[in-house]
Chain A
Amino acid sequence: MFKKWISVILSLACALSLSACWDHTEITSMLIVAGIGLDVDDSGKIYHAVVEVINVEEEGGENITAKLVEGSGSSIYAAIQDAMVMTGGTLYTNHCKVVVIGDKLARQGIDGVIDLVLRSPNLRKTLGVLVAKDATARSILTQKTVKNDIVSFELSKMLTSNEVTLNNTRTTGIYQLHEAFISVCPSAVASVVSVKENNGERVLYIEGLSVFWDQRCVGYLDGSRSGAYNLASHTVNTGSIILLDPALSAQPFGVNILQSKAGYTPYIQGDRLVMQVDIQVDATLQGGALLQVDLSDKNAVNQLEISLERKLEADVKNLISHVQSEYGADIFNFYKEFENRYRREWEGLSQDWQSHFKNLEVEVTADVVMGGSGLIENYAPHGEAANALP
């Protein structure tokens, strides 16, 4: 009996002392952080933090609103601490959805931001990163939103939906940036948020990508180039491409991407480094595309596929050469292919991959399969033809 109790007490003592994540926090005593905005002033020495906290103490509790808490300091951490002073030090960041980085801070370097998130026990490492193009993070978080009263939540939803439905950006988590920056080729992309005019109102707009090299933002890709980037570097299940081919239609027409997959094959021929990019795309015509060709004819579909292939090849090639010449940042991770396939040569290449990347010869081949078009030979009559029916 005595042994039994001793073993129970010892087990409990071990169990309780090992409970490292024991952390009692009443939900009502916390200020829930929805998002964080980080800026740096013109001198590049004073950092500014804007923390969007959710105000759940509204009467009735139905209209949950947000408040901004701001702080400044000589480091990002000090700025956040300054903001915390105003809240009594009870900021709860587990549900923080996004971190918005001002243009200046992004260009100066985001190592402090990554360090802050990685060291925090509460901030999620999957936290979405947004770079405020030509703007401050504060100006983004103080912007009026269309749907949600909480800007950070709106940004988080826009980020996901834009990637999934429009293919004009790409969500990047803090941990992905960190992994990229500690690699041989410290390059990465992050989503871009900006403010645009819409019906006389200034609204938030997520489109495009910011290009990072060695923790610094070195430039931006617009929406269409971001779409091409996604096609060239990832498996994509959405997106649309506008085609203008006089042989097919007098008007521009749209094509929906159903699925796409990119594959890389590196070659070393003497001193030449060549990267073969193969893109396989399943696509379908968008509604409202009035083509001059009969889509029940296989040749016409082939013509459409070739037209789209040429367009995709041109777009991707253009993108890659733009990134090579303007930024020199291997955001496509081509280096991994050389590292895997040419391990011996890679030792030499890795010493100065950035210059090798700039001079890399890239060949792009697209293979498009159009589906779901032209299965019906006799179209349903419309317009005058329909009126003429008995």
Chain B
Amino acid sequence: MSYSADKKGTIQYSQPGLSEDLGTSLAIFEEIFTDDVTFQLREFSCRSDNRVRCATLYLDGMISSRIINEDIIQPITLAHLENTSGLFQTILTSVIVGGEITQESDMDSIIKALLYGDTILLVHGFAQAIVVGSKGFTVRSISEPDDEKSLRGPREGFTESVMMNASMVRRKLQTSDLKFKSRTFGTRSNTRAFICYLDSLVDKGILAELETRLDRICIDGALDINYIQEHIKDSPRSIFKTCGNTEKPDVVAAKLLEGRVAIILDGTPIVLTVPYLFIENLQVTDDYYTNFYYGNIGRILRILGFFITISAPAVYVSLVSFHPEMIPTGLMLSIAAANSKVPFPTVVECMGMLAVFEILRETGIRTPNKIGSALSIVGALIVGQAAVEARIVSAPVVIIISLTGITGLMVPRMSGAVIFLRFALIAAAACLGFYGYFLALIALFFYITGLESFGVDYSSQLFSYNPAHLKDIYLRPSMSRMNTRPLTFNNDVER
């Protein structure tokens, strides 16, 4: 065997380079790609001198056949070439048409290029290969991401192509200060990724820390950015995300302008940004693309929405089960009347309804669009009406859970954390009423303030007496006053 692979997927080639004999070199490749029908090999020779023998190697489906035919094979076969010692350089510089051509002799690099859709051109008599960029695989066209729709602003979203994604960021920030460092993740997937940052703004310490963490990753495949994210996030078991995800190039550009670092991984439209702070969960692009009065209303509503979605069921349980004296009499009578024939305690009602809501939500995500509307009708009828009429749950609980669910949609970046917090706060409220609820809320507060993202406090700038810190935290000031970058991890303050 000319190569061996260990269990981790690391491949060692017995032949460190190519042979001058074309047949021998081809035999190496044929052996490496045994039982791979996508591997294509074509030998051909020059019309003027049949001693000039060449071969193209590529993987079917990964290349553009037009490039191979018109830019490689056709020019070589038709050219007047002589089998001399300068033949390789002549082909490299004067014969092949194409913009992306490199000379390569390392076996590992040649194989990686071949696997990524490049075409390898071998010339008899030379132990080197010409790598011709011929990527021709189909990628999804640019579209607006469903999860990050905005009222105004750019509509484009990342695709699964790392190069296309990098180009989208490049179009936003047309400066040589924008750097793209290449990396490969996955010993078997060999997924390419770019570490992207603005050199003059990035905190070098954070960048070094990121690279150190990335170096430690040892996985055989990286199919989505989450494979990377979970390896590099600060508190791996934290319910909160300490790395940002976005599908929008404009968001990445904005974060790079604040000195953050982005990781673009091939094969996924999600781009990772670090460091990531708590308040970023509550910021959306419309805050900046619409009038700041309107944008701030939205932000305030999202902040309130976060508290409502984690607290509403817990507060309801506390009020109804422990502190009914705090409810206005009329409202309490309505709640008591609605609860009168329901056989379950309030906490069981709330937990049950939340579980049903989560089931419906998960089902909605997995359901084909065609039956999605039918599902929502069934869900609404069964949960909203039939359950109340059958006295299995009370109407106020349905209202509270609906409010919880609706406000949960306002903070999609914390959807996982929110689900966990809802149940945790209900459990605390069910044990000790408001006393337990506030204990749990204080614990949550401590927990958030204890988190870090790449050395930066996760809650940084949330609690500060310095107005400059609070800028763009709870309220977004007008653009003319947004003249400083976040102070926490950036030395370059002026924008």
Contact = CB atoms under 8 A, between A and B. Distances in A.
A56 B322 CA distance: 19
B333 A26 contact: no
Contacts of B329: 95, 97, 153
Contact of B340 (A16, A24, A61): A61
B435 A19 contact: yes
Contact of B325 (A19, A22, A28, A94): A94
A352 B481 CA distance: 73
A29 to B, nearest CB: 9
B332 A27 contact: yes
Contacts of B439: 15
Given A15-B439, A32-B336, A57 B341 contact: yes
A113 to B, nearest CB: 21
Majority secondary structure of chain B interface residues (helix, strand, loop or mixed): helix
A56 B334 CA distance: 8
Contacts of A26: 320-321, 345-346
Interface string A20-40: 011111111010100000000
B337 A25 contact: no
A54 interface: yes
B432 A56 contact: no
A92 interface: yes
B336 A27 contact: yes
Nearest to A19: B435
B411 interface: no
> Interface on chain A toward B: helix, strand, loop, or mixed SS?
loop
A296 interface: no
B389 to A, nearest CB: 11
A88 to B, nearest CB: 16
A90 interface: no
B338 interface: yes
B433 A56 contact: no
Q: Which of B320, B321, B333 has the most chain A CB atoms inside 10 A of its CB?
A: B333
Interface string B326-351: 00010011111111111001100000
B324 interface: yes
B333 A56 contact: yes
A97 B324 CA distance: 15
A9 B346 CA distance: 28
A87 interface: no
A27 B324 contact: yes
A58 interface: yes
A27 B335 contact: yes
A122 interface: yes
Contacts of A116: none
A25 B346 CA distance: 11
A64 interface: yes
Given A27-B332, A27-B336, A64-B333, A19 B324 contact: no
Contacts of A15: 435, 439
B235 to A, nearest CB: 15
Contacts of A23: 322, 433
B336 A24 contact: no
A320 B196 CA distance: 88
A15 B440 CA distance: 12
A54 B321 contact: no
Nearest to A31: B336
Contacts of B334: 61
B346 A21 contact: no
B337 A64 contact: yes
A23 to B, nearest CB: 6
Nearest to B336: A56
Contacts of B335: 27
B432 A22 contact: yes
A21 B322 CA distance: 9
A56 B325 CA distance: 16
Contacts of B346: 26-27
A24 to B, nearest CB: 6
Given A15-B439, A19-B435, A54-B333, A25 B321 contact: yes
B332 A95 contact: yes
Contact of B337 (A19, A61, A95): A61
A244 B435 CA distance: 62
A8 to B, nearest CB: 9
Contacts of A95: 324-325, 329, 332
Contact of B339 (A19, A28, A122): A28
B54 to A, nearest CB: 66
Contacts of B339: 27-28
Interface in B306-321: 320-321
Given A15-B439, A27-B346, A92-B324, A22 B433 contact: yes
Contacts of B320: 26-27
Nearest to B395: A61
Contacts of B435: 15, 19, 21-22
Given A56-B337, A56-B340, A24 B321 contact: yes
Contacts of B332: 27, 32, 95
A251 B158 CA distance: 87
Contacts of B432: 16, 19, 22
A56 B331 CA distance: 12
A57 B433 CA distance: 25
A153 B333 CA distance: 12
Interface string A71-115: 000000000000000000000101101000000000000000000
A56 B333 CA distance: 7
Contacts of A21: 435
B433 A58 contact: no
Interface string B418-445: 0000000000000011010001000000
Contacts of A32: 332-333, 336
A25 B324 contact: yes
Contacts of A122: 325
Nearest to B333: A64
9 contacts: A22-B433, A26-B320, A28-B339, A54-B336, A57-B341, A61-B337, A61-B340, A94-B324, A95-B324
10 closest A-B pairs by beta carbon, nearest first, are A61-B337, A94-B325, A56-B337, A56-B336, A57-B340, A95-B329, A28-B339, A27-B320, A27-B336, A19-B435
Interface of B: 320-322, 324-325, 329, 332-342, 345-346, 432-433, 435, 439
Given A25-B324, A57-B337, 10 more contacts: A19-B435, A24-B322, A32-B333, A32-B336, A56-B333, A57-B341, A64-B337, A95-B324, A95-B332, A153-B329
